[in-house]
A and B are shown apart, each in its own frame.
Chain A
Amino acid sequence: MKNGENKKTNNPEFWKSLKEYYNDPEVLKAKANEFADGVTDDFDPSEMSRVSRRKFLALLSASAAFTATACSDYRDKGDVVPYNVRPEGVLPGKANYYASTCSGCSQSCGILVKTREGRPIKIDGNSDHPVNKGKTCAIGQASILNLYDPERLQQPIIDKRKSSWKKADTEIISALKESMAEKKEIALITHQTDSQTEKKVLDDFVAAYPNTKIYTYELFDSGNRYDGWKKAYGVTPLPSIMWDKANVILSLDADFLGNEGNYIEAMRKYSSRRDAVNNASFNRFYIAEAGLSLTGMSADYRFRLSPDLQLEFILSLLNEIVSNDPAMRTKLNSAAFDLIFRNSLEKFAEKSGLDYGKLVNLVIDFKNNAGKSIVYAGDKLSPDVHYAVNLFNYVLGNNNLYDYKSVFTNRLELSDNKDLKNLVESMNNGMVGAVIHYDTNPVYHFPPELDYAAALKNVKTSITLSELPNESIAASYYAVPINHYLESWGDSNPRVGIYSLKQPVVAPIFGTRQKESILLTWIIGKTEAYSEDIYHSYLMENFKDSVYDKTDSAATFNHFWNTALHDGIISIDESARPPVDFDMANINLLKPSTASGGFTVILNKNYYLGDGRFSNNGWLQETPHPVTKVAWDNYASIAPNTAKTLGVEFGDFVRIKVDERNVDLPVVVQPGLIENFVSVELGYGRENSGEVANGVGFNVNVLLQFNGKSKWIINNAEVAKTGESYELVSTQEHHALDDESVKDFHKIRGIIKEGTVSEYKKNPGFIKEHDHELFGITRGHEYNDVKWAMSIDLNKCTSCSACITACNVENNIPVVGKDQVGRGREMHWIRLDRYYSGTPEEPKVSNQPMLCQHCDNAPCENVCPVNATNHSPDGLNQMVYNRCVGTRYCANNCPYKVRRFNFYDFRDHFADAYYQNDLTDLTNNPEVTVRSRGVMEKCTFCVQRIMEARSESIKDGRKLKGSDVQTACQQVCPADAIVFGDVNEEGSEIQKYREHELGYHVLEELYVKPNVTYIAKLRNTHSSEDV
């Protein structure tokens, strides 16, 4: 049946109109058409506009593209903007140096700050300064980053709201005056300072507000040492030690090469007696310590001794010496002799587990070198031990090694524990009207028994002066920002007769003021009294009175002052008082401590963060610990046997409980410690500080205590495993001592070659005995001009990491953060490898700085597919960042694994681009490329310095000499372990080191022909122990 027929006869099931129902043919036709008839009649495609939609869009985008190109002048090379008035002496492109003083720690070394275009970019030592002689430490090097810290306080903050100086000053001055009127105490809490002018400001403050009491504290102070000295010699000033004249050194838990006192000076003097190349007569270094410290790594003999037994140890030694020597016995009075006579060395050896034979050798060494040896006790030991050590040195005549020409000055007297307790009580009783934290952080540092934070809440006016936010700022009502030391005026008097000045190398970047100027404003009492120069003129005046008038200088004061600022140092001949006789009356105060059950805990100062003030500094957080090579955390170091007993491994948590206080810390199993002992470092676990510092590590300050002989040695602690674990990152976890396959491999492969002094004397060529002839089949490079090479003396290197930090600053090395360090991606171009040999209980430690060896036959150069790394005609292996595509074949081939790859653009990867901000970018060295993602980098032997020296030599019209160039690591090494120069130069220093019989190359047999020579370490052990 046809459809149409159907429609004629059948009605549709659904219909829209009656016409449809009745099957009207027109309607049916219309259903088939989309549009009604006639609607599209006017539509004629050929009459439409030429430009269709498609064409229109095409034209539109093309014209937009053309306009965009036209509008931008892509030939434009930017602007070149000179100065309006160029300051005198500033030439953009040439660095300017300013002499100043470092405030990284309390030693106040003299520094030269290198500035480019007005901004400081590197800190070097001031070679005119008699104490540090041109060297700085890791902290000094990295402290420049704190100037450019984006989280610095920029303006005063009142009650957590940003405010202005006018308001802050006015309110604070009225609060101080109010405290005076209400007869309430004003407490000013400060650190010890060696600045005479700062002391004068504090005195003036007390004069202006007589209710002020000044409290001085340090988290790690030398109070015990001064106490012991006072008991022995009265109030004569403390002399420094002539380490270079000592033939035998015994250190009692004293980290004098790494952490205590002026270790830059100590390293220089100590290493002058470990110089094999220049035929120095080696000293013999004994150490008796509980933990393994940096200094302990360099010792010839290590005695593992608990700090409680140190007093008995020194007395037993003294007994052994005087018992057989009537001449020395006369120096002791009878009371002293009776006390000492009770300590038998043999019994002590039994009690402590030390090797009696070695102790006898120690005694013999002392006897043979009486008057030319020294015993030195650590700052943490109690005053008794210091007194006993002073007695020992006196009896042996070692006090001629006390350098009375370089005597420590008296700083602000430390407050007693009693004073601090009284302060807190007054605060709780409402007797304190105002508390000023003068660049201190008591909320973080004070022992928990003071409960300082709660007491602070009872003080109406709490003021904290600080650069960075910290715990005390968070607990204070007023947060007052202060200048970084590179923006400050100041003076420093570290030793008697030595005055070093501090000048601002850059005007304050933010709206901060110098802390002394802030006090001066409050002293005068009016906020308008402040001017940028207020402390400058005060300093000049005080300098005139205290220093200028003492010298018989013919120059005018202005000339004298300008010369002083130019040089940085003024030395006056202020002879210290001659030494007085030893006061033996205090001998009855010596009480040997009773052995404690439980664990002993020692609280150590962190090597790089100080008391915590540098926790926001990424470079320092990332520098691996010199002994454990752990970065970004603190931990509890435990001996291997103890760890086995506790059932803990690397990274497991233990709970350390002392009285009612406890703290959980992850464990590092450290060979060389005594049993039942934990060594921890303070300065971590910050809160309310910067982004880098917050949450890093654990706050161990809860273990600080007032009772006991020493603030930092805690007895009767309980240590137990908690069952949890934590990820600790270490740059060197590999090659544990107990892994048989890698045990001593560094000796087998010839990476570390060592010997003893007596072995060397008998057989000078013993290092090269097993060398064999190496030959190659390819033609080598020819070096007709300069050829750069380096030598590192392993006798002198103590692994202080100043070289690592200096290289970081000089070469714009990024901070990568904890997780990347855990993947082995730290970007340090030079690293310190640490190898153990011996047993886990008595390890021998070997350190080796490892950097790009600039091999003549470099395995990395042949494999680059784009030829981004090749050899220069002066011996360097050069790296061209722009060509590098990131194949990483070169790093694969490098036998020393010194090539670092930028897996991320680390500048924008560390904690959400913390270091990629406009302020921190100012610290970059403009002569060194800032590397981005995907390029390989490595040590370049400071090629920017080589090029600069070359340009200077062309300017002067002379030939380039090897001694014109100092690499950053060489320049900073306090032990002078690194020598760098031109091997083609006749009679150069480097030639001597390269051809020395003790010099060897690492992995020589690979025939890569490295250009870094290592001078083998000689341990000065007794010849009777030679194998």
Chain B
Amino acid sequence: MKKSALDYILKVRLPITLFVIALTFVITFYVSRQERDSVGYAPIQPINYSHKLHAGDMGIDCEYCHTGVSEGRYALVPSVNICMNCHTISRKDRPEIIKLTKYYESGEPVPWKRIHKVPEYAYFNHSVHVNTGIQCETCHGNISKMEVVSQVRSFTMTACLDCHRDPEKQLPYLKKVNKGPENCAACHR
């Protein structure tokens, strides 16, 4: 049978167009995941601090450095003097530690690149979560195995609400946990 124009459109053009659209969509979705929910963002830090060494191999507790996590809203990145508690002596000839000591002596703080950020219109409170018994790894992933910290969990509002609405599923290690607040003012005051 003679192939008509409509035939050509339906058999060739339409599937190709649809396929291209679908492919673009899928590629864009996965490729842009870092922008949408920041999973996978692992910037280079000014000093190559390794959590794997300190928190993993040496077993230092998260709260030793991140002191604000059970006190207030912010978990706090340690100030240089906390590092110098050990590093005035230990490994002080290594190049990264020399960099650190230079910061300490100049009085300048270390400008770490921020990885985990909840947008400023949501007032996230660390101490409420930590004091309820939630472990750091639940949201931040297995930091003690990371050489370079990257974000493993999505920080979109859906991700937060999923846990708030059904905490038992996400926090199986807690014996009793209440549902988190769902009302707007809890975060968006």
Contacts and interface: CB of A to CB of B under 8 A. Distances in A.
Interface of A: 73-86, 91-94, 870-873, 876, 878-882, 927-929, 940, 943-944, 947, 950-951, 954-955, 957
B41 A951 contact: no
B156 to A, nearest CB: 14
Contacts of A927: 123, 189
Nearest to B41: A75
A86 B81 contact: yes
B188 A880 contact: yes
A875 to B, nearest CB: 11
Contact of A954 (B77, B80, B128, B184): B128
Contacts of A928: 189
A813 to B, nearest CB: 15
A999 to B, nearest CB: 26
Contacts of A957: 131
A75 B110 contact: no
A955 B132 CA distance: 8
B107 A84 contact: yes
A78 B127 CA distance: 23
Contacts of A76: 43, 113
Contact of B123 (A86, A876, A947): A947
Nearest to B182: A873
B186 A92 contact: no
Nearest to A940: B189
A880 B82 CA distance: 39
22 contacts: A74-B35, A77-B38, A77-B115, A78-B114, A81-B112, A82-B77, A83-B79, A84-B107, A85-B80, A86-B81, A91-B68, A93-B76, A94-B68, A872-B184, A872-B185, A878-B185, A878-B188, A881-B121, A951-B125, A951-B128, A951-B131, A955-B127
A81 B111 contact: yes
A785 to B, nearest CB: 10
A507 to B, nearest CB: 16
B77 A929 contact: no
Contacts of B74: 92-93
A865 B3 CA distance: 54
A86 B109 CA distance: 10
B185 A82 contact: no
A83 B107 CA distance: 9
B78 interface: yes
A944 B73 CA distance: 12
Contacts of A954: 127-128, 131-132
A811 to B, nearest CB: 11
Interface string B22-35: 00000000000011
Chain B interface residue number, banded: 35 or more
Contacts of B181: 873
Given A75-B38, A955-B127, A93 B72 contact: yes
Nearest to B106: A84
A928 B189 CA distance: 7
A5 B109 CA distance: 96
B131 A79 contact: no
Nearest to B34: A75
Contact of A929 (B68, B76, B121): B121
Interface string B113-139: 111010001010101100110000000
Contact of B114 (A74, A80, A94, A872): A80
B112 A878 contact: no
B184 A878 contact: yes
A79 B123 contact: no
Contacts of B184: 870, 872, 878, 880
B71 interface: yes
Given A79-B113, A82-B109, A872 B183 contact: yes
B81 A85 contact: yes
Contacts of A947: 123, 125, 185-186, 189
Counting chain B CB atoms within 10 Å of each CB, the highest count among A73, A77, A80, A83 belongs to: A80
A876 B183 CA distance: 10
B41 A92 contact: no
B112 A80 contact: yes
Contacts of A951: 72-73, 125, 127-128, 131
Interface in B127-154: 127-128, 131-132
Lowest 9 A-B CB distances belong to which pairs? A878-B185, A93-B72, A83-B79, A872-B183, A93-B74, A80-B114, A77-B117, A86-B79, A77-B114
Contacts of B73: 93, 951
A83 B80 CA distance: 7
Q: Which of B43, B72, B80: most chain A CB closer than 10 A? A: B72
A68 to B, nearest CB: 16
Contacts of B71: 91, 93-94, 955
A950 B68 contact: no
Given A74-B35, A93-B68, A955-B131, A84 B103 contact: yes
A84 to B, nearest CB: 5
Interface centre among B111, B112, B183 (most CB of A within 10 A): B183
Given A83-B109, A928-B189, A951-B127, A91 B114 contact: no
Contacts of B7: none
A261 to B, nearest CB: 39
Interface in B44-75: 67-68, 70-74
B108 interface: yes
A931 to B, nearest CB: 11
A81 B79 CA distance: 8
Nearest to B77: A82
A522 B38 CA distance: 61
A879 B184 CA distance: 8
A175 to B, nearest CB: 40
Contacts of B114: 77-80
Interface string B71-97: 111101111111000000000000000
Contacts of B127: 951, 954-955
A315 to B, nearest CB: 60
Contacts of B113: 76-77, 79-80
Give the interface centre of A84, A955, A957 by most chain B CB atoms within 10 Å.
Answer: A84
Contacts of B79: 82-86
Contacts of A879: 185
Interface string B172-189: 000000000101111011
B86 to A, nearest CB: 15
A787 to B, nearest CB: 13
Nearest to B125: A951
Contacts of A881: 121, 188
Contacts of B68: 91-94
B185 to A, nearest CB: 4
B121 A82 contact: no
A78 B41 CA distance: 13
Given A880-B184, A954-B132, A80 B125 contact: no
A882 B188 contact: yes
A888 B81 CA distance: 51
Contacts of A944: 123, 189
A326 to B, nearest CB: 69
Nearest to B73: A93
B80 to A, nearest CB: 5
Contacts of A940: 185, 189
Contacts of A943: 185, 189
Nearest to A870: B184
Nearest to B122: A882
B170 to A, nearest CB: 18
A92 B183 contact: no
A83 to B, nearest CB: 4
A233 B103 CA distance: 69
Nearest to B42: A75
A92 B107 CA distance: 18
Contacts of B186: 872, 947
B67 to A, nearest CB: 7
Nearest to A882: B121
Contacts of B82: 86
A389 B97 CA distance: 79
Given A77-B114, A870-B184, A84 B189 contact: no
